[in-house]
Amino acid sequence: MAENGAKRIRLGMVGGGTGAFIGYVHRVAARIDGDYELVAGALSSRPEVARESGRNLGLADDRIYTSYEEMAKAEAARPDGIQAVSIVTPNHMHFGPTKAFLEAGIHVICDKPITSTLEDARKLAEIKPAKGAKFLLTHNYTGYPLIRQARELVASGALGKIRVVQAEYAQDWLTEAADEGNKQAAWRTDPARSGAGGCIGDIGTHAYNLARFVTGLRTEAVSADLTAFVPGRQLDDNVHIMLRFEGGAKGMLWASQVAVGKENGLQLRVYGDKGGLEWSQENPNYMWFTEFGKPRQLITRGGSISVPPAASMNVRIPAGHPEGYLEAFATLYSQFAAVIRGEGADYESLLPTMADGIEGMQFITASVKSSQNDSKWTRFADV
């Protein structure tokens, strides 16, 4: 049973077999609040790896599949079949499984970006899911309590009219050409598997989504400069983008995987005509909020400063006990479980949707187009 006494949701997984970082993260996130039980999987495109991975995870032999097509068909026909599936494959393998499981009436939890192309993302939106199957995109950083609180601060008018938004996501793990055996780097730097964007698709979309989630501002156009600094690399490893938002606000986004000394530097800064806020993912339990003309305030997760409902929904432990990446990921899983059970009305506006995924692909596509045209301002409406 789940922590709240509800029956656990039967979960399957596509991808994420032995040695896959993101598959492990999704499995941990699904377990934290006890809402899911992993019972089936097509964990690798290589049959021997799929079988070995499934057995290592304790799956029954008849529920270890060697293709997602086989899994969707078989599980939909079982009386005890999976109710939801996590898709944790490289980008080019998001479209097929998502389509198959939604059409089979199975809820889908998909890693970002939603697909490898904008065309495929729009095709997914045309699907009519069977049995009311729902879709979740795991932009996991939106699950942090203080990001939820930042969203409410902006919505409440505490910052006034938003003028400036700065988002950045900097890493250094691709500073040099990756070793041939580095699977994580191999597909992320391969246009056939990653899509048109490298760094922009892998982490730039997270920074963009976070800015949109917190501010609610809609993007009109981007001016982008995408660079591949490492010789021979086919996709960008550094991104500089200016953004124009509806209503006149301006934005800047920097994403890099060649910023030496940066580990996982996702940061967001938002400034209005009445106040500003600053948050860093590497210290996610703290956020600075400043009202113009007054001292800066340090807001802590679950701390003494008034916490709005959206921020407190998944504060699992008392203030001063750190919560982080895995718990934020788990928040999306647990709140989606409530949606699946028909109990998640309070959460639906907070969870990343297919529409968010399509917008993320618009962001990538417009940015690539802009960069190819000497950083010419490119409207979302034109892609």
Closest CA to 112 of 141, 143, 139: 139
CA dist., res. 71 & res. 41, Å (int): 7
pLDDT value at position 185?
Answer: 87
In Å, how far from its chain's centre is CA 97? 17
pLDDT of 6 above 90: no
Model confidence at 308, pLDDT cuts 50, 70, 90, reads low
d(CA 207, CA 140): 11
Asked if 314 and 143 count as a contact pair (C-beta separation under 8 A), the reply is yes
Q: Which residue has the higher pLDDT, 67 or 1?
A: 67
Q: Which has more confidence, 185 or 112?
A: 112
Closest CA to 339 of 1, 5, 72, 9: 9
Amino acid 5: pLDDT: 74
Long-range pairs for 286-291: beta carbons < 8 A, 24 or more residues apart: 286/146, 287/146, 287/149, 287/150, 289/153, 289/158, 291/158
Judged against a pLDDT cut of 70, whether residue 162 lies above it is answered with yes
What is the distance between the alpha carbons of residues 324 and 316, in angstroms, rounded to a whole number?
11
Cα 169 to Cα 339: distance, rounded to the nearest angstrom: 30
Which domains occur in the chain, in start order? 5-137 (3.40.50.720), 142-313+354-372 (3.30.360.10)
What pLDDT is stored for residue 2 in this prediction? 73
Q: Is the pLDDT of residue 128 over 90?
A: yes
Backbone phi and psi for residue 43, each to the nearest 5 degrees, phi listed first: -90, -5
231-290 pLDDT per residue, tens: 999 999 999 999 999 999 999 999 999 999 999 999 999 999 999 999 999 999 999 999
pLDDT at 312 over 80: no
- Does the pLDDT of residue 212 top 80, yes or no? yes
The pLDDT of residue 180? 76
Tokens 């982490």 found at? 203
310 pLDDT band (50/70/90 cuts)?
low
Position 367 pLDDT exceeds 90: yes
Q: In 104-196, where does DSSP find H-type helix?
A: 118-125, 145-156, 183-188, 191-194
Amino acid at 53: S
d(CA 329, CA 144): 8
**Looking at residue 183, what is its pLDDT?**
84
CB atoms within 10 A of CB 132: 9
Angle between helices 118-125 and 354-372 (to 10 degrees): 160
Stretch 128-146: mean pLDDT = 97
Mean pLDDT along residues 182-205: 90
pLDDT in tens, 56-68: 999 999 999 999 9
The DSSP code sequence of 187-198 is HHT-HHHH-S-S
| pLDDT for 311 beyond 70 | no
Q: Which residues pair with 14 in a beta bridge?
A: 42, 87
pLDDT tens digits for 341-352? Answer: 999 998 999 999
Question: What pLDDT is recorded for position 307?
Answer: 52
- As a whole number of angstroms, the distance between CA 283 and CA 275 comes to 21
Average per-residue pLDDT in the chain? 95
Helix orientation angle between 145-156 and 205-215, rounded to the nearest 10 degrees: 40
Does residue 326 carry a pLDDT above 60?
Answer: yes
DSSP 64: B
Supply 45's token pair.
Answer: 């495109």
Contact 206, 139 (CB under 8 A): yes
CA 18/CA 378 separation, integer angstroms: 41
Whether the pLDDT of residue 306 is over 60: the answer is no
User: Is the per-residue pLDDT at 309 higher than 90?
Assistant: no
Residue with tokens 């729009």: 122
Looking at the chain, the whole-number percentage of residues with pLDDT higher than 90 is 87
Confidence (pLDDT) at 313: 60
**Mean of the pLDDT values across residues 66-91?**
97
Backbone angles phi, psi at 346, to 5 degrees: -70, -15
